[in-house]
Structure 1
Amino acid sequence: MKKILFIDNWKKGYKNFTRLNDEFIKNQFTTILVHTGSFTGEGDVKEEFIDGLLVRDISFYKTILIKKVIEVEKPDVILILNLSFIFDRAIVNICKKIGIKLIFLAHGKLVSVESVAEVKSNLNKDIRTNISRVFRKKNFLVLINYFSSLKTGGKFISSFKMIKGIVANPSGYLTMPNYDKELDADLILLYTNEDKRLYNERFGFPKDKIKVVGNPEIFEIINTPTQVKNLFLRDIGFNENDNYVLYLDDGLVCGNIWTKEEWYNHLKEILNEINILGYKLIIKLHPREDLNNHLKFFNENNILALKNIDFKNSIIHSEAVISHYSTTILFSLVFNKKVISPKWGKSLELHENYPSNLINYIYSTHDFKIALVEDNNNDLVVKNYLKSQGINKDTNTITKIIDEVKECVNS
């Protein structure tokens, strides 16, 4: 039996691992997820089982050091969902020192190569204008983990390099970094060919370590049962003759990109147009967004907002999907649903993560209303795009991921 240790920075991301867990167990792996939710006050439950997966907060081990957890668990391989932050650097350093295989599995579509400069510039501006974000308890605990991961003789040099990098180019060192030895995972598993191009050509990660495996959530969604529309509407509390538009939240508020007021104003503009057409609005909230922070606004404006939603049926039965750049746009394209990306007002500043012949970028509320009722005539464009990105509806992405992990562990 091989042991795989999943590490994440919060418990709410557990579905990224539970959808893989059964297949890992079938392939003779023991599994455990350790998260650092207590770093941000989310670690009330120290140990639990979620959908058959053993989940522990780092506090279960009576330590704040992920190094101590790894030493206790002694895994054969570690799987992480990020490879850019300071905490990720600490994990890489520890794995190199101990001799444990490390695999990075991306959990979303990444930005396009062409938009990197714009996105990095916006991130730098956001980080520098919200410097208070740096002085949080979590970040100090992460720094302690990073220092703990360094070799004794290199602590001063590595620390100086890190601080200098953060000051000079925060996005390039924290969220969108170029390849270096502290980000040298044994295997990088990405969703699309475009993501591979980004990591190799733009960020300099070794091509031979990058594999395109597809999106396991898409495979999972495709294989969920299709529900009759009137039954789906009944289950969510709508009348059987209601029509609705599905809004896929990009995490603009929880990501500190927009204020609540800016987001609310944007949603009101959307509501004004869809109400004229007699449509209702459903919002699929970003996993990091707290529903309770917005309940008053949603209730006052007759918006149905959900954290957990039947993705497949909510997309299939919608009149259209609205989103700016979310990974979940791919889910809509798989089901060939019309996607509208608002580009007026504040949203004009947001980067475009998909080709303009693939989704509808709309620059005024007037054109938005027209786009809602126009036919969707880009079937061939969508089909060719999905094929070019290595997205195949018939590929068992979960099995593909497990096979890549097994090969890495045994190499």
Structure 2
Amino acid sequence: MKTVLGFDSWTGGAANFARLVPAFREHGLDLVVLHIGSWGGDPGRPAREFKGDLELRDISHYGGKSIDEVLEVEQPAAVLFLSNEVFAHRAFNRYSLAAGIPTLLLYHGLVSVQGVASEKPYKVNPLSQARFVLERLPKALLRIWPAYGRALVKTSATREDWTRFVKDIFNMGFGRYSVRAAEDSRTTRVAVYTQADQAHAIAKYGQPPESVAIVGNPDLHAFGVGPADLGIAASAATVERSEIIYIDTGLIYAGMVFDGAAEFLEHLERTHDALRRASKTLAIKLHPDHFRTDMPDRIAALGIEILNNQNFVSRLKACAAAIVEPSTAALIPGLVGVPLLLAGYGKLSGQAFGEVLTSYPRARHLLDPSAVTDLLLEESRSFDAEAIQRWLDANSGPLPGELMPSRVAATIIEMIETAGASLSCAA
């Protein structure tokens, strides 16, 4: 068994690694995740724990070793990231590539649902962003920035690398999104869900087109969407239905748009009241981060039903439309075939959406929830089944979605074999 070492800042992304384990083992790969949660991002975790069959190790498991020293101890055949723009991940990527270890960035969602052509794909709420930064500043000063600076020194960084370091500190502080990632964010290969994100990986990271693998969307399987469900609800008759489903992205936990829970609740209450006056009902699919708080109880107290993964798709098939913020989950109603109402009212006024969502033939910008009936009537009159099918073909990714882990494993094996062949040639 060859060891693949996952690297992450916390255990919050463990589910994205865990679903890979069975397929990896079938391909002779042993996946272990190293995280730096004890540095401040995920305190109180055990030094070593399991999520199902996935082993997670906090850096404290290694008795005070630095991340480069852990890499020397483990000597993995490959390294796997779920994101690669933050400094700790970039440091580990630098060390890995310098050691001749191939690295893979696996997108863990659809990035192109966001307005990624802008430096600010989400509106930054100044108060919320300030809290977000101040909560993380001690960890950055004491752990992250020194670790990254050490990596720059040990891997003989250029002056441009150091300049980018300073620039990115300011960009992150002000909530700015970098349209082009730093050079040390580029991995050996990238795996994305769909064709749309292949173009993003090429533009964002400077990846050669041949280095970007399209592996399919595992969320289809997670939500119970099979090939037969694609476009199943695509009918102009959806306008006659009463339920509208709101799909949330947890913006309040990222210092974006809303100034905390109270403002988000006010936003939902306004939406709920407007839809009720239009003889529509509201249900909501919440981002998982909310379930670490009392937010679900507070939303339920407003009379808004909270959907789960088990009933989400069945309710989508029977709804009038979905109000969405930019997220991977926002793609699901489009794949099922119902209208998408891109939330652009209240605090979300001016919110940017990516081309994946705006190009959907049944997408409309919702600037006032009280106008939902007129908007859906207009959409129904322009219903175009052929255009919807073309969009589905371009955005569903390789099917079935449940084979995504096997496609990722095959990509890693190919990467390892290529690295081995290069070493043999060098010798």
TM-score band (shorter)?
A: 0.7 to 0.9
1:159–1:118 Cα change, 3 Å: closer
Distance 1:124 1:265 in 2: 16
Contact 1:189–1:212 (Cα < 8 Å) also in 2:
yes
290-299 or 190-199, which deviates more: 290-299
Matches within 5 A, 1:351-366: 351-353=352-354, 354-355=357-358, 357-366=361-370
Shift of 1:209: 1.9
1:223–1:347 Cα change, 3 Å: closer
Shift of 1:184: 2.7
1:22–1:175 Cα change, 3 Å: farther
1:64–1:389 Cα change, 3 Å: farther
Aligned AA (2:188) = D
When the two chains are superposed, the root-mean-square deviation of aligned CA atoms in Å is 3.6
252-261 or 205-214, which deviates more: 205-214
1:406 corresponds to = 413
Distance 2:62 2:100 in 1: 22
Does residue 178 of the first structure (1) align with residue 180 of the second (2)?
Answer: yes
Contact 2:7–2:80 (Cα < 8 Å) also in 1:
yes
2:86 corresponds to = 85
Q: Give secondary structure in 1 for the equivalent of 2:5.
A: strand
What CA deviation, in whole Å up to 9, does each residue of 1:290-333 have, x standing for no partner?
54242553243123446765544453454432212111112222
Distance 2:117 2:146 in 1: 30
149-158 or 262-271, which deviates more: 149-158
The equivalent position to 1:148 in structure 2, one of 127, 130, 150, is: 150
Distance 1:398 1:311 in 2: 23
The percent of aligned pairs where both chains have the same amino acid is: 21
Contact 2:115–2:352 (Cα < 8 Å) also in 1:
no
Matches within 5 A, 1:123-138: 132=134, 135-137=137-139
Q: Give secondary structure in 1 for the equivalent of 2:20.
A: helix
Distance 1:139 1:287 in 2: 29
Distance 1:139 1:64 in 2: 19
Aligned AA (2:3) = K
Contact 2:82–2:105 (Cα < 8 Å) also in 1:
yes
1:230 corresponds to = none
Q: Give secondary structure in 2 for the equivalent of 1:11.
A: coil
2:386 corresponds to = 380
2:246 corresponds to = 247
Shift of 1:168: 6.2
Shift of 1:17: 1.4
Shift of 1:156: 8.9
Tell me how many residue pairs correspond in the alignment: 397
Distance 1:127 1:154 in 2: 37
1:30 corresponds to = 30
1:320 corresponds to = 321
What CA deviation, in whole Å up to 9, does each residue of 1:347-377 have, x standing for no partner?
1221122225342321212222455688864
Shift of 1:80: 0.5
1:118–1:29 Cα change, 3 Å: closer
Matches within 5 A, 1:9-408: 9-38=9-38, 39-63=40-64, 65-111=66-112, 116-117=117-118, 119=120, 122=123, 132=134, 135-137=137-139, 140-152=142-154, 154=156, 157=159, 160-166=162-168, 169-170=171-172, 175-176=177-178, 178-201=180-203, 204-222=206-224, 244-257=243-256, 258-259=258-259, 260-276=261-277, 281-295=282-296, 297-305=298-306, 311-353=312-354, 354-355=357-358, 357-371=361-375, 377-389=383-395, 391-394=397-400, 396-408=403-415
Contact 2:3–2:76 (Cα < 8 Å) also in 1:
yes
Contact 1:321–1:337 (Cα < 8 Å) also in 2:
yes
Distance 2:174 2:408 in 1: 28
124-133 or 257-266, which deviates more: 124-133
Q: Give secondary structure in 1 for the equivalent of 2:289.
A: coil
Distance 2:62 2:177 in 1: 28
271-280 or 151-160, which deviates more: 151-160
Shift of 1:137: 1.9
1:118–1:153 Cα change, 3 Å: closer
Aligned AA (1:195) = D
Distance 2:333 2:103 in 1: 32
Shift of 1:26: 0.9
Q: Give secondary structure in 2 for the equivalent of 1:274.
A: helix
Aligned AA (1:7) = F
Aligned AA (1:410) = E
Q: Give secondary structure in 2 for the equivalent of 1:214.
A: coil
Aligned AA (2:34) = V
TM-score by length of 1: 0.82
What CA deviation, in whole Å up to 9, does each residue of 1:13-38 have, x standing for no partner?
11111221111011111121222222
Distance 1:114 1:339 in 2: 16
Aligned AA (1:137) = K
Q: Give secondary structure in 2 for the equivalent of 1:107.
A: coil
Structure 2: stretches of 5+ with no match in the other structure: 229-240, 419-427
324-333 or 356-365, which deviates more: 356-365
Distance 2:135 2:79 in 1: 28
Shift of 1:106: 0.6
28-37 or 110-119, which deviates more: 110-119
TM-score by length of 2: 0.79
1:235 corresponds to = none
1:397–1:113 Cα change, 3 Å: same
Distance 1:17 1:280 in 2: 37
Shift of 1:58: 2.4
Distance 2:138 2:350 in 1: 28
Shift of 1:41: 4.0
1:336–1:307 Cα change, 3 Å: closer
Structure 1: stretches of 5+ with no match in the other structure: 227-241
1:308–1:369 Cα change, 3 Å: same
Aligned AA (1:211) = A
